[in-house]
Chain A
């Protein structure tokens, strides 16, 4: 297996070819902010939070999907990147209704954490205050579109890991919305196995357990990572 050596923020690192810049950075203790990325799910490079600068290329590249190459020189924390990352977070906050105070994920939300990382003490962009519905038709879980940032982790986990493909993205552009079944209430979708993986991987307060109230959402995706690794191991082993 060939190995590529590269520089990340002045640190030298050697990685197996095909590994991502994100993994390479983590190897030398550098955390690049991510939101739509989740280990165990296919990368989509949609949130653009993990963009890094690569010497010799005019374009910014997403670390979650760009493979390491021999001799790459990568900058992960320039002032331009910091400003762009803060703008991505502001775009997300102003696009939805992220009222942290009354949110089920308050204190346990990856969007909230990233807002702290990028130093957002206020949004420089005006809030849109869109009118979005809440779906409480499922007997165990709820979906609050006001908190949804369209990272599509729920769509991917339901398709790639559970295999039920209950979720998908409907419409286009700013009208995009996560839909279940034939744009039916979640509770009416009979292909749903009630497994709750989507709730587990949702980074914000969009998907939650009924009964949880403000600050009570405690889901983490380590269980999913273990499940996917176990399956991969099973497929590899004879």
Chain B
């Protein structure tokens, strides 16, 4: 199954300053075709941001400025729109991602026990990444495969009917 998008665990209130690793002047040419395809219309902003995150893994300041200039949109509108949506993130995601589905069906069958176990195991809160950038613990509301509840997605691969034991084993096997 194509990789499941997991909300990279950037904090929702994260301050974005210039302190991201030195961003070499990128030309973001991978965005050129989609920008042309949509005739650089402001309405294509989210389509462009979706492709941008897929290609460059996260939305850096330079990338957002490049998109804003090409669509002739104010910086504040571009950032305001990007920060509205759960799946866009502004910091490099961790090397591994572990996303617990916290939808209704999964929660009713025990997703919160999985979250508690993972928070303890990784020593981070849900929605955060480990300081060393090895793994991010995220959540998603529902992937629509409730027959597989409770469900955890590790590095894009869906694991069904998870238990505390199976989840910890899967995370430990990543050898962070």
Query: Which chain B residues border A181 with CB–CB below 8 Å?
Result: 75-76, 79
When the two chains form the complex, which single residue of A164, A168, A184 contacts B80, counting CB atoms closer than 8 Å?
A: A168
Q: C-beta contact mask, B74-86 vs A, less than 8 Å → 1, else 0?
A: 1111111001100
Given contacts A171-B12, A171-B13, contact A182 B83 (CB under 8 A): no
The tally of residues in B whose CB lies under 8 Å from a CB in A reads 17
Determine if B76 and A179 form an interchain contact, defined as CB atoms under 8 angstroms apart.
Answer: yes
Determine if A183 and B16 form an interchain contact, defined as CB atoms under 8 angstroms apart.
Answer: yes
Q: Say yes or no for B64: interface residue by CB 8 A criterion.
A: yes
Majority secondary structure of chain B interface residues (helix, strand, loop or mixed) = helix
A residues 142-171 in Cβ contact with B at 8 Å: 159, 164-171
Q: Say yes or no for A76: interface residue by CB 8 A criterion.
A: no
Residue of B nearest to A169 (CB): B80
Tell me the smallest distance from the CB of B48 to a CB of chain A, in Å. 16
Query: Which chain B residues border A175 with CB–CB below 8 Å?
Result: 12-13
| Bound CA–CA A171/B79 (angstroms) | 9
| Bound CA–CA A84/B90 (angstroms) | 38
Given contacts A165-B74, A168-B74, contact A179 B80 (CB under 8 A): yes
Residue of B nearest to A191 (CB): B74
| Bound CA–CA A29/B50 (angstroms) | 52
Residue of B nearest to A163 (CB): B74
Query: Which chain A residues border B83 with CB–CB below 8 Å?
Result: 170-172, 179, 183
B residues 14-57 in Cβ contact with A at 8 Å: 15-16
Given contacts A172-B84, A182-B16, contact A165 B77 (CB under 8 A): yes
| Bound CA–CA A133/B84 (angstroms) | 20
Determine if A179 and B74 form an interchain contact, defined as CB atoms under 8 angstroms apart.
Answer: no
When the two chains form the complex, which single residue of A164, A165, A171 contacts B84, counting CB atoms closer than 8 Å?
A: A171
Q: Say yes or no for A34: interface residue by CB 8 A criterion.
A: no
Majority secondary structure of chain A interface residues (helix, strand, loop or mixed) = loop
Determine if B64 and A182 form an interchain contact, defined as CB atoms under 8 angstroms apart.
Answer: yes
| Bound CA–CA A172/B78 (angstroms) | 14
Determine if A179 and B79 form an interchain contact, defined as CB atoms under 8 angstroms apart.
Answer: yes
Q: Say yes or no for A180: interface residue by CB 8 A criterion.
A: yes
Query: Which chain A residues border B68 with CB–CB below 8 Å?
Result: 182
When the two chains form the complex, which single residue of A159, A182, A191 contacts B79, counting CB atoms closer than 8 Å?
A: A182
Query: Which chain A residues border B16 with CB–CB below 8 Å?
Result: 182-183
Q: Say yes or no for B65: interface residue by CB 8 A criterion.
A: yes
When the two chains form the complex, which single residue of A171, A172, A182 contacts B75, counting CB atoms closer than 8 Å?
A: A182
Query: Which chain A residues border B65 with CB–CB below 8 Å?
Result: 182
Given contacts A170-B83, A172-B84, contact A182 B12 (CB under 8 A): no
| Bound CA–CA A180/B75 (angstroms) | 8
Determine if B79 and A170 form an interchain contact, defined as CB atoms under 8 angstroms apart.
Answer: yes
Query: Which chain B residues border A168 with CB–CB below 8 Å?
Result: 74, 76-77, 79-80
| Bound CA–CA A171/B76 (angstroms) | 11
Residue of B nearest to A133 (CB): B15
Q: Say yes or no for B155: interface residue by CB 8 A criterion.
A: no
Tell me the smallest distance from the CB of A129 to a CB of chain B, in Å. 15
Query: Which chain B residues border A165 with CB–CB below 8 Å?
Result: 74, 76-77
Residue of B nearest to A190 (CB): B75
13 chain-A/chain-B pairs, Cβ below 8 angstroms: A165-B77, A166-B76, A168-B77, A170-B79, A171-B13, A179-B80, A181-B75, A182-B16, A182-B75, A182-B79, A183-B79, A183-B83, A191-B74
| Closest 6 pairs between A and B when the two form their complex, measured CB to CB | A168-B80, A168-B76, A165-B74, A182-B75, A170-B83, A181-B75
